[in-house]
Amino acid sequence: MSLKEQDKGNVRKRSQTQAEQRLAKYKAEEMDEERLMSMFRASMKVSMETIQVELERERETSRRQMQQQLKSLTLQFTPLVQAVQTNQSAIQNASVTAENTTIQIVKFTDGMDIDAYLTTFERTTTQNNWSRATWAVKLQALLTGKSVEAAAIVPTAISSGYDLVKEAILRRF
């Protein structure tokens, strides 16, 4: 064999060795890449599981806090609810017994606004379903001072007419 042929053989061997080394290097890099991807996937899986666990803890903590707030509000508002229920019961009882109860109306005294007083009197009698035939007698029992004098001017025969008594009082004031 000649030297040229030996050199060609050596060059071929070197080229083949270099090619094999490059192939091995690429395969190693490819394996490293696959290993990296596998590690990345595993890392992502662990991260996701960690995040899920943390979220579950936060949800549980939030749920407990809301339960504690609900208990606190329940304790805070229970007396108010009971008071309202008691008042509602009292109002219902009062509305039942109001029909049998005497309503107190303040007596009219000089210095009071007569128009406001008569309006309040009429509203009270209407709301309590008092017979209009009794209004004049009831009003006269509540009058004092000048208003009594005005009502006294109305003749006894017609003094049971509320409108006449009211008119006489309003003329006086």
Residue 13: its pLDDT value, please? 75
pTM score of the predicted model: 0.41
* Average pLDDT over every residue of 21-27: 80
* Average pLDDT over every residue of 133-144: 87
* Average pLDDT over every residue of 122-127: 90
Residue 108 burial by Cβ neighbours in a 10 Å radius (0-12, 13-18, 19+): buried
Q: Contact, 114 vs 108, CB < 8 A? A: yes
Per cent of the chain over pLDDT 70 is 80
* Average pLDDT over every residue of 58-79: 88
| More confident of the two residues 96 and 51 | 51
Task: Kindly report the average pLDDT of the chain as a whole number.
Answer: 80
| 155 pLDDT higher than 90 | no
Residue 96: its pLDDT value, please? 39
Residue 134 is encoded by which pair of tokens? 């009794």
